[in-house]
Amino acid sequence: MTSQKFEEIKSSIVSATKKRDMAEGAKNKITENWQKEFSISSQEEVETKLADLEKEIEADKIKRNKLMEKLESSADWSSL
């Protein structure tokens, strides 16, 4: 192995290490934000929270549709 090849490999390792450290820092920041905003700290908790919120949204849509139907049936739209 030439000294040039060795330096290239060394440079690649240093670059990869920096990228890994940056990614780890970003991951930690995201996890901290989850903890602050939603009181969750893991991917599993995020998935559970997301599923719960999607169920709430669907329930709210059903409720909204029922209320709209009730409103429409109670108004005489032809007189407007």
CA distances from 37 to 30, 46, 53 (A): 10, 12, 14
Q: Taking 90 as the threshold, does the pLDDT of residue 23 lie above it?
A: yes
- Quickly state the pLDDT bin for 34 (edges 50, 70, 90): confident
Residue 24 pLDDT = 96
Taking phi first (over 0 means left), then psi (-120 to 50 degrees means alpha), and beta for anything else, what does residue 71 get?
alpha
Cα dihedral 39, 43, 44, 48 in deg (nearest 10): 60
Q: How many distinct helices (H) and strands (E) make up the chain?
A: 2, 0
Q: Taking 80 as the threshold, does the pLDDT of residue 47 lie above it?
A: yes
Residue 80 pLDDT = 61
Q: Taking 80 as the threshold, does the pLDDT of residue 75 lie above it?
A: no
**Cα separation, 27 vs 34, whole angstroms:** 11
Q: Taking 80 as the threshold, does the pLDDT of residue 77 lie above it?
A: no
Q: Taking 90 as the threshold, does the pLDDT of residue 18 lie above it?
A: yes
